[in-house]
A and B are shown apart, each in its own frame.
Chain A
Amino acid sequence: MLQHSTVRNRLLRRLSGDDFALLQPHLRPMPTKLRQILISPREPVTQLFFPEVGYVSVLAENGKYGIEVGMVGREGLVGAAPVLLGSDCATYHEFVQSAGEMLAIGIGPFCTAVRHSPTLRRLMLRYVQTKLIQTSQTACANAVYNMDLRLARWLLMCHDRLDGDEIPITHDLIALLLGVQRSGVTVAVRSLAGARLIRRQRGRITVLNREALITLAHSSYGVPEAEYARLIEET
């Protein structure tokens, strides 16, 4: 049986014992594979997913081009916004960027639990607020910052959601997620590796100096993370 004390998802960990007990019988451990699609646009959301290990990218697609508009790891809940805000279907693709494990829950028992418990509802809505901030900051970073900063911010967001310093990722996928040509990624990776902030190997990037990445990312990184700490973990 799933124990509250051993779950790793930060939202679930924040729940009171009573609120966790409302969800617990309905949480189903589910291993995830790289690029597994959890939510598709224009399709009803039937399950939500609390990531335990690994994380998910939210991808907006417009014909030939796509761009990442959100990231959900252990701090979050995949499917939270459409379900809690009353939409009957999703708008974007949500797919597994780093494989691991989720706790899946059907929309029925989740909504029943949220209706019963104002404290559970408040925590989940606060998470949706931090996710909105994350998306807004992504829009800002895409418009304002150069490629090195955008890559630094993105690597930090991955690093936050992983155990250890190794990010399994190809330049191809980074290019897709950041909405640029692979050559833009090639140069930015070269730049950060040259400054010894990261080490690149085939199929993965290792974070060598997180503090320096934060300094480089400047104000593009940290706003949603600070709001998450304030709204979810300090109250």
Chain B
Amino acid sequence: MPRYYFNLRHRPGPAGLAVDPEGEELPDLNAARERALNAARDTIANIRSDFVRDWFVCSFEIEDEDAQLVLMVPFSDTVPEVEDDEPVEPALHAVRS
């Protein structure tokens, strides 16, 4: 299985990337995207950090074993697009998956 590295972009510039040194083996890029969305949901729901005050500005920059950027997954992708007057159910996103 290929190994994907889930680097976390928290602000622009070289200092704004928290590097994932270990990565994770997953069947394909689709699985990596699902993994990133699950990790983002869990992080938004459960992790408080003074370093990153707003998770919704973050994204995963997923790299392959050759250090090539293969996919970006913004944390905001965890939230479905809604119309302004449509009620949002934040509790749905607080469930650990």
**Per-residue 0/1 for B30-47: is the Cβ within 8 Å of any A Cβ (1 yes, 0 no)?**
000000000110110011
Contact yes or no, B47 A186, CB < 8 A: no
Contact yes or no, B50 A148, CB < 8 A: yes
Contact yes or no, A171 B21, CB < 8 A: yes
Query: Contacting chain B: which of A15-23, A111-119, A177-185?
Result: A177-185
> Which residues of chain B come closer than 8 Å to A180, judged between CB atoms?
42-43, 46-47
Interface range, A side: 20 to 34
A126 within 8 A of B: no
> Which residues of chain B come closer than 8 Å to A183, judged between CB atoms?
6, 8, 20, 39-40, 43, 60
> Which residues of chain A come closer than 8 Å to B21, judged between CB atoms?
171, 200, 202
Report the nearest B residue to A189, measured CB to CB: B18
Measured in the bound complex, the distance between the Cα atoms of B44 and A165 in whole Å is 32
Contact yes or no, B48 A146, CB < 8 A: yes
Measured in the bound complex, the distance between the Cα atoms of B7 and A191 in whole Å is 14
A229 within 8 A of B: no
A233 within 8 A of B: no
A209 within 8 A of B: no
Measured in the bound complex, the distance between the Cα atoms of B15 and A180 in whole Å is 23
Contacts A184-B43, A187-B8 given; indicate if A170 touches B49 (C-beta within 8 A): no
Per the 8 Å Cβ criterion, residues 183-214 of A in contact with B are 183-184, 186-191, 194, 200, 202
Measured in the bound complex, the distance between the Cα atoms of B60 and A188 in whole Å is 15
Per the 8 Å Cβ criterion, residues 154-184 of A in contact with B are 170-172, 180-184
Per the 8 Å Cβ criterion, residues 63-92 of A in contact with B are 65
